[in-house]
Amino acid sequence: MVATLGTAVINAGYDRTFEAIASDGPGPEGPAQRGGAWTSIGIDHRASTITVPAGFRIDLGGSAKGWAVDAALTELSASLLAEHPSAGICISAGGDMAVAGTPPAGGWPVRISERLDRPGIQGDGEVRLLRGAIATSGATARSWRHGDEPGHHIVDPRTGHPGSSRWALVTVFADTCLVADTFATAAWLLDGDAVDWLSSWGVGARLMDQDGGIVLVGDLKTWIAGELPR
């Protein structure tokens, strides 16, 4: 994930909550700002400070959410599993999920969808997560328009504009939630190169294109039980 896209996301119109955008419309459209400035971020561990290049804002996006899930799971596992070795733990934050310990019979039930506050639709999938983490990225539900131009929250760091993709949803299975979330968003932006790129890293994935077609990547039995396409 590119950390210096905060200003680009705001300039795309995402300057408030999605609920406010849905009711009042997006913020004013501003100039694109590419994400290369992340290489100039300065971190002083001794002083506990971060210096950001002038004119840029940090937006940690889903990567911070994934890291938070991993951190919570590590902390809880250390205390709970030591006392209850046969326990199972599941941490979920806004669709990012990671598990540890002994799963329930058949695995943790997970519905794959861009929004979980709506009835299931064609293309949604259901899996039983046995280990590791799962995260899904897409720009169908959380989107808006500036006139005739579509807008959404996934900004391509190469252009500074909201990206485009043949994929409606990209779901990644990995050992940690930070990796799953980061790879899901990157794969969505990589469009036609996503399948080969994901394969080269050895992660498991389910990609649904805009017409509902499903592409599976990797040996998903490492992470899940049961059928994945739907």
Residue 204 lies in a domain: yes
- How far, in Å, CA of 1 to CA of 212, rounded? 26
Count, residues in the chain: 230
State pLDDT tens for residues 72-107. Answer: 999 999 999 989 999 999 999 988 999 999 999 999
180 falls within a domain: yes
pTM equals 0.88
118 pLDDT above the threshold of 60: no
Read off the pLDDT of each residue in 147-158 and give the average, rounded to a whole number: 85
Q: What pLDDT shows up at residue 143? A: 85
In a domain, 130, yes or no: yes
Summarised one tens digit per residue, pLDDT across range 217-227 is 999 988 998 65
Contact yes or no for 98/177 (Cβ under 8 A): yes
Tell me which residue range forms the domain holding 162.
Answer: 62-225
* CATH value at residue 200: 3.10.520.10
Q: What digits encode the pLDDT tens for the residues 134-151?
A: 999 998 877 888 777 778
Q: Report H helices in the chain.
A: 6-11, 18-24, 61-83, 177-190, 194-201
Give per-residue pLDDT as tens, 37-76: 888 899 999 999 999 989 888 888 778 999 999 999 999 9
What does the alpha-carbon distance between residue 205 and residue 174 come to, in Å, rounded to a whole number?
Answer: 9
Q: Is residue 76 part of a domain?
A: yes
**pLDDT-based confidence at residue 120 (cuts at 50, 70, 90):** very low
165 phi and psi angles, rounded to 5 deg: -160, 150
Which amino acid is residue 155, in one-letter code?
Answer: V
Query: In a 3-state reduction of DSSP, which class is residue 105?
Result: coil
Distance CA 31, CA 157 (A): 13
Residue 26 lies in a domain: no
- Is residue 33 domain-resident? no
In a domain, 16, yes or no: no
pLDDT (mean) for 183-204: 95
> What is the per-residue DSSP string for 115-144?
-SSS---TT-EEEEE-SEEEEEE-SSSSEE
Cα torsion 131, 223, 183, 18 to 10°: value is: -70
133 pLDDT more than 80: yes
Whether 72 is covered by a domain: the verdict is: yes
Tokens at 230, concatenated = 């739907």
Count structural domains, the chain: 1
- Count of Cβ atoms closer than 10 Å to residue 65 Cβ: 18
